Structure 1
């Protein structure tokens, strides 16, 4: 399953040169692709770089002590499990109960393990279809969803 899924992803994916959205291009070039890596685990690298890049202050974490410790170590002034989050993290799309009504414009949701199983990928695709989501990015290891009311709905397959 994983090999076939990864090969399909490679066929669909691009890097920042194939992106026509100024918002996504800036996010990729100034955040995700920016060196140095802050973690060897790709999802954690994207998570930590995104928090710093967008200067998120209120973060909701679902079931992840390891990620909570990383954030507390790198961002001591961030409020965790705030009721009005800027950023939400889920370790799997199967448990993602997105609080769309609590996320403001420019809110970000990071979901890990979107390609770990057929069920995970189906759940991810359902989240991408939500009318509340404007921008979705499939990084293979994880997926990112943005709420941006000023932007048309777009979906990207990008190599991190």
Structure 2
């Protein structure tokens, strides 16, 4: 917790608003997407999706391949608790929807489905979402949720991230969302594996960049990666861009 508090204070001090951003690309991203206060109709569907599991007491067995949980001591967890502690919050889900909409994303790769809150949000933009979940019971539960909510543009895959990324698939994605495992070294490995599945305009989104010192160290290294030209630190999320027309620069934005 001290790690998060320390870096939140630093983030606030480093953050600046529109007048401090000299990159037209990031200026427009902040103004037209990150700080967009419009109410979009899909937000209502996202709320209904969340409400449908808010009080669900179904117990699922979690097969955790990552860094584990700070909250849960057992691998048996209620759906309502998973929503509360392991799923994207409303603000983050809406932001993911806006990012897909703003960049006119057609294909998304998501590493870490959980209950599918973020998955649904990105799918509502019209993008086709391939989402990977390593825990079989969680993957099946989320898959049923998508079906119950009549979401047909999601491919749900039960696999470890490592095994899925090792497959030779000639597919590139416009947005790659890495949300799972929460281990710094693993996150860097996943990023490297995803490079071959990206193109020059792909947006990489990393969740929980201040989850641990290891995750923060990984984020800092990725910001200096030779193929990364711009990074946007939102504290809860980090965005990485590969645009060659952009000089390598780090931006801190407090929403």
In structure 2, what is the Cα distance between the partners aligned to 1:100 and 1:59? Answer: 14
Aligned equivalent of 1:36, options 38, 48, 67: 38
1:99-153 CA-to-partner distances (Å, cap 9, x unmatched) read 1122111110111111122111111111111111111011011100011011111
Aligned equivalent of 1:20, options 22, 26, 44: 22
| Residue aligning to 2:111 | 62
Query: Cα distance 1:22–1:104, how it changes in 2: closer, same or farther (>3 A)?
Result: same
| Residue aligning to 1:154 | 249
1:14-70 CA-to-partner distances (Å, cap 9, x unmatched) read 122210000000011011111126586333232111100111001100012332222
Greater alpha carbon shift after TM alignment, 120-129 vs 90-99? 90-99
Contact 1:16–1:158 under 8 Å retained in 2: no
Gaps of 5+ in 1: none
Structure 1-normalised TM-score? 0.89
In structure 2, what is the Cα distance between the partners aligned to 1:57 and 1:108? Answer: 12
Contact 2:108–2:129 under 8 Å retained in 1: yes
Contact 2:228–2:242 under 8 Å retained in 1: yes
In structure 2, what is the Cα distance between the partners aligned to 1:138 and 1:61? Answer: 19
- Work out which of the two has the higher radius of gyration on C-alpha atoms and give 1 or 2: 2
Contact 2:93–2:117 under 8 Å retained in 1: no
Aligned equivalent of 2:210, options 115, 118, 124: 115
Larger RCO, structures 1/2 (Cα 8 Å, 6+ apart): 1
Give 1:91 shift. Answer: 1.3
* Matched position secondary structure for 2:251: strand
* Matched position secondary structure for 2:238: strand
Give 1:71 shift. Answer: 2.4
Greater alpha carbon shift after TM alignment, 93-102 vs 6-15? 93-102
| Residue aligning to 2:6 | 4
| Residue aligning to 1:71 | 122
Contact 1:43–1:112 under 8 Å retained in 2: no
* Matched position secondary structure for 1:52: helix
In structure 2, what is the Cα distance between the partners aligned to 1:144 and 1:55? Answer: 16
RMSD after superposition: 1.9
Give 1:84 shift. Answer: 0.8
Gaps of 5+ in 2: 47-88, 131-168
